[in-house]
């Protein structure tokens, strides 16, 4: 197991091609202040460039929270211009996470509120502990989500279900989040990390370039009309046909043996 250089607000351990990033401000339920964004930006830049990392798990320290949102101390005193800057900067970091080219699995171990829910939405997949709670309570502070929640939430669960959460600010439990498809699975709290690693290992078992190509096709295609998105799919499909891993994967199947991936 290796560890990255220490960060003020998060921890990161890398083992067997899986990085575990842990938001580490449990005394304030992992609220997202400016330093968290600085640290997330830096760690995800490192992990994106690190060939030893193929899947990233993102979770929160302590038993209560994944992240209870933007740090309200920082929101309290700001006006229009600083508010727009804060929102824009956070959106940029979450977009960086979303487009890092590697699967990022949110392990939601407790409250995922406001910016915390938006952070989970920017991840590739979401596993929740049965104790997790979700919500976009910004309207209770006189605000709206500013880190992508008004855009990613309706894209994921539909505009009506999203608006119900956005307009009321009410919290929902993990089983309701599963029913809405806001999360992909719910497991017991003690099983969350093990299930996250198991899911990561099933992604590690398949062709590496195909994994990043799936993510690229889904995210880039979602921003296009169907005709253009289908052309994108064909283009990416064609590029994969030229890879060693495609030759190996198809041959291994025909020769009835496990494939040996090289990621090339
Ligand atoms: C700063 C926070 C915080 C937050 C909790 N804390 N959430 N500090 N920002 N978002 C602090 C509390 O002040 C408290 O500090 C400590 O963490 C423990 O929290 P408690 O409230 O005592 O815990 P509990 O009673 O269990 O209630 C948990 C909770 C509640 C339901 C999650 O803390 C809560 O409602 N938090 C705010 C959630 C929220 O509104 N999030 C959205 C923020 S806006 P002390 O010092 O008293 O121990 C947002 C906008 C994003 O995210 C877009 C920006 C552009």
**Does residue 5 have a pLDDT over 70?**
no
Read off the CATH number of the domain in which 39 is found.
3.90.226.10
Same domain for 69 and 155?
yes
The whole domain housing 141 covers 2-204
**Does residue 167 have a pLDDT over 90?**
yes
- Domain membership of residue 30 (yes or no) is yes
Q: 90 CB less than 6 Å from ligand 1?
A: yes
- Domain membership of residue 149 (yes or no) is yes
Mean pLDDT of 207-218: 96
Give 98: exposed, middle or buried? Use CB within 10 Å, 0-12, 13-18, 19+: middle
- Domain membership of residue 262 (yes or no) is no
The answer to whether 74 is a known catalytic residue is: no
Cβ-Cβ contacts under 8 Å for 77 (sequence gap 6 or more): none
- Domain membership of residue 261 (yes or no) is no
- Domain membership of residue 264 (yes or no) is no
99, 219 contact by CB (below 8 A):
yes
Percent of the chain residues past pLDDT 90, beyond the cut: 97
Mean pLDDT of 118-125: 98
Residue whose Cα lies nearest atom 22 of ligand 1: it is 28
**Does residue 1 have a pLDDT over 90?**
no
Same domain for 98 and 148?
yes
Provide the pLDDT confidence category of residue 259 given band limits of 50, 70 and 90.
Answer: very high
- Domain membership of residue 13 (yes or no) is yes
Same domain for 102 and 121?
yes
For residue 57, the model assigns a pLDDT of: 98
**Does residue 62 have a pLDDT over 90?**
yes
Instruction: List Cα–Cα distances, 26 to 29, 66, 68, in angstroms.
Output: 5, 9, 10
47, 102 contact by CB (below 8 A):
yes
Read off the CATH number of the domain in which 221 is found.
1.10.12.10
For residue 69, the model assigns a pLDDT of: 98
Same domain for 232 and 200?
no
Reduced to 3 states, what is the DSSP secondary structure of residue 32?
strand
Structure tokens belonging to residue 225: 């009309």
For residue 234, the model assigns a pLDDT of: 98
Same domain for 20 and 151?
yes
φ/ψ (deg, to 5) at 126: -135, 115
Mean pLDDT of 228-251: 98
For residue 6, the model assigns a pLDDT of: 81
Same domain for 149 and 83?
yes
Nearest CA to 201 out of 16, 44, 12 is that of 16
Query: How many domains, in total, are found in the chain?
Result: 2
If one residue of 23, 26, 29, 137 were mutated to test the ligand 1 pocket, choosing by the most ligand atoms within 8 A of its CB, it would be 29
Report the distance separating Cα 259 and Cα 238, nearest Å: 20
**Statement: the pTM of the whole predicted model exceeds 0.75:** yes
Same domain for 140 and 18?
yes
Q: 39 CB less than 6 Å from ligand 1?
A: no
Same domain for 249 and 176?
no
Q: Which of 8, 118, 198, 248 is catalytic?
A: 118
Same domain for 234 and 156?
no
The answer to whether 138 is a known catalytic residue is: yes
Provide the pLDDT confidence category of residue 39 given band limits of 50, 70 and 90.
Answer: very high
Provide the pLDDT confidence category of residue 211 given band limits of 50, 70 and 90.
Answer: very high
23, 36 contact by CB (below 8 A):
yes
Same domain for 234 and 131?
no
Mean pLDDT of 250-254: 98
Same domain for 74 and 129?
yes
Q: 71 CB less than 6 Å from ligand 1?
A: yes
Ligand 1 centroid to residue 30 C-alpha, Å? 9
For residue 3, the model assigns a pLDDT of: 67
Task: Report the chain's mean pLDDT, rounded to a whole number.
Answer: 97
For residue 2, the model assigns a pLDDT of: 74
Mean pLDDT of 148-158: 98
Same domain for 115 and 234?
no
Provide the pLDDT confidence category of residue 114 given band limits of 50, 70 and 90.
Answer: very high
147, 90 contact by CB (below 8 A):
yes
Final residue belonging to a domain, choices 204, 220, 245: 204
**Does residue 4 have a pLDDT over 80?**
no
- Domain membership of residue 129 (yes or no) is yes
- Domain membership of residue 165 (yes or no) is yes
Helix axes 149-157, 115-122, angle to 10 degrees: 60
């Amino acid at each position: 197991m290796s560890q990255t250089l220490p960060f003020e607000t998060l921890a990161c351990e890398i083992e067997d091609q899986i990085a575990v990033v842990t938001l580490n401000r449990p005394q304030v339920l992992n609220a997202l202040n400016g330093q968290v964004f600085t640290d997330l930006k830096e760690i995800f830049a490192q992990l994106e460039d690190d060939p030893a990392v193929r899947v990233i798990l993102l979770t929160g320290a302590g038993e209560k929270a994944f992240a209870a949102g933007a740090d309200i101390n920082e929101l309290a005193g700001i006006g229009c211009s600083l508010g727009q800057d804060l929102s824009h900067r956070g959106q940029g970091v979450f977009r960086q996470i979303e487009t890092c080219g590697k699967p990022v699995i949110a392990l939601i171990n407790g409250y995922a509120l406001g910016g915390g829910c938006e952070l989970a939405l920017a991840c590739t997949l979401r596993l929740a502990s049965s104790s997790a709670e979700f919500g976009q309570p910004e309207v209770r502070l006189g605000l709206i989500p500013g880190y992508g929640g008004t855009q990613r939430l309706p894209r994921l669960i539909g505009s009506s279900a999203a608006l119900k959460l956005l307009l009321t600010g009410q919290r929902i439990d993990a089983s309701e989040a599963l029913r809405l498809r806001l999360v992909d699975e719910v497991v017991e709290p003690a099983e969350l990390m093990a299930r996250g690693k198991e899911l990561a290992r099933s992604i590690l078992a398949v062709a590496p370039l195909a994994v990043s190509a799936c993510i690229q096709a889904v995210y880039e295609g979602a921003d296009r009309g169907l005709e253009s998105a289908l052309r994108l799919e064909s283009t990416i499909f064609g590029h994969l046909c030229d890879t060693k891993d495609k030759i190996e994967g198809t041959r291994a199947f025909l020769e009835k043996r496990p494939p040996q991936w090289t990621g090339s």
